[in-house]
Amino acid sequence: MLAKKNRADTKIVEQVFKTGKFINSQFLTFKYKLNSTPSIPRISFVAPKSITKLAVNRNKLRRLGYQALKKHINTFPIGIEGVFVFKKPLSSIKDIENEIKNILSKIH
C-alpha cells in the first residue's frame, strides 16, 4: 500500500476535479494539477460504480492501483496532485503498472 503522506485526501481530489488537466489512456484517466510549492506527489485512485457495482471489487481495484503506484511514485514531478480514475476493470498489477508508465511518459 502507498504511504498515507503520498495519497491525496478528499479536499485535494475535489480541487483536482475542478481545476485540473487530464490525460487519457486505454484503462485509466489521470486528472492532475501542479502546485507552485514544492511538495511530495499526492496521488489517489478512484473506481466508480459504473466499473463494478460491488464495493469489494472497487476497493480491490484501488488497492491494486496503490500497489502498482508504489514503485513509480518517485518518478512523478515534485508538487503534483492527481487522481487516477479507472475506465475499465483491470485484474493484474502489471497491466496497471504499464498504464501508469504510459501516463508518466505523457506528463514529462
pLDDT tens per residue across span 66-76:
999 999 999 99
Determine contact, residues 16/91, Cβ cutoff 8 Å. no
Q: For 27-54, write each residue's pLDDT tens digit.
A: 999 999 998 888 999 999 999 999 999 9
d(CA 75, CA 58): 26
Count how many Cα atoms sit within 13 Å of the Cα of residue 25 in the half-sphere of its side chain. Answer: 22
In sign, the C-alpha dihedral spanning 16, 31, 19, 53 is negative
pLDDT at 107: 85
pLDDT in tens, 54-96: 999 999 999 999 999 999 999 999 999 999 999 998 888 999 9
The SS3 assignment for 62 reads helix
% pLDDT > 70, the chain: 99
**Position 2 pLDDT exceeds 90:** no
